[in-house]
Amino acid sequence: QKEVEQDPGPLSVPEGAIVSLNCTYSNSAFQYFMWYRQYSRKGPELLMYTYSSGNKEDGRFTAQVDKSSKYISLFIRDSQPSDSATYLCAMSGGGRSGGGADGLTFGKGTHLIIQP
């Protein structure tokens, strides 16, 4: 079982719909959770960052983390064609002894298409 599972899609929804993207993970040491957006032939850019469990909202985006279920979600409200991209979940335990070492573990990414 891969450490982070993410449905690759594609997920196609009409403009204005609420989008729900999800990841599950197996490593209970993960405590930093991120969502990155990646446009075609570009580098990933950070959308949302959450430490431990809880919700975080930023404009049309809401990130949720449920550590008890090892499940994270990203919701996009009032979706726009410009939201069409690949969304990557990423997580980390913060490194060895919390010293910031090691790296992020990524899901495979979900390809999202917003139809005008």
Under rule CB under 8 A, residue 8 binds other proteins:
yes
Under rule CB under 8 A, residue 109 binds other proteins:
yes
Separation CA 40–CA 38 (nearest Å): 7
Only one of the segments 11-19, 33-41, 58-66, 69-77 lies at the binding site for other proteins (rule: CB under 8 A); that segment is 33-41
Please give the structure tokens belonging to residue 4: 């982070």
CA distances from 87 to 3, 35, 95 (A): 17, 7, 23
Specify which residues 105 forms β-bridges with. Answer: 91
> What is the SS3 assignment for 90?
strand
Contact residue for other proteins among 18, 26, 46, 113 (CB under 8 A):
46
Under rule CB under 8 A, residue 99 binds other proteins:
yes
Only one of the segments 11-19, 53-61, 69-77, 104-112 lies at the binding site for other proteins (rule: CB under 8 A); that segment is 104-112
Separation CA 17–CA 115 (nearest Å): 10
**Residue pointed to by tokens 């060895």:** 96
Residues that bind other proteins (CB under 8 A): 4, 6, 8, 31-32, 34, 36, 41-46, 49, 51, 88, 90, 92, 94-95, 98-109
